Amino acid sequence: MSQKNTKKGTSRGRKHFRYASSVKVVLCLLLLACTILAVRTRQLHTQTARYEQMSASLDQQITDEKKQQDEIQEKVDNQNSKEYIEELARQKLGLIYGNEIIFKKK
């Protein structure tokens, strides 16, 4: 009878050992998965910060370019004005109206 009890005890021991081994494997896999997720999350946070910096920089560039575009448009609009044409004729071509008197420095 003692042999039967020994066999049953051994059988339970093997099942417990298999169960414990399975739990250890599952825990190791869970730990590995958590580690991989933590590393990937850190990488994504770093990448997000980098993209936010790039976005802010590009927003500033867009603002600067719009200002420059407005200045150029203003110059283009002024080129068609009478005042600009007169100023250009005086400076570049030396033209004056017939009733104007020019004083020159000595």
- Quick check: is 54 in a domain? yes
In a domain, 106, yes or no: no
42, part of any domain: yes
- DSSP line for 31-100: HHHHHHHHHHHHHHHHHHHHHHHHHHHHHHHHHHHHHHHHHHHHHHHHHTSHHHHHHHIIIII----TT-
- Could you tell me what percent of the chain has a pLDDT over 90? 48
Domain of residue 73: give its range: 2-93
Interval 6-18 mean pLDDT: 61
Whether residue 13 is predicted with pLDDT greater than 80 in this model: the reply is no
Count how many Cα atoms sit within 13 Å of the Cα of residue 62 in the half-sphere of its side chain: 6
Q: Identify the band that residue 1 occupies on the pLDDT scale cut at 50, 70 and 90.
A: very low
Per the domain annotation, does 13 fall within a domain?
yes
| Stretch 47-53: mean pLDDT | 97
Counting the structural domains of the chain, the total is 1
Burial of 9 (0-12, 13-18, 19+ CB in 10 A): exposed
Mean pLDDT of 1-29: 70
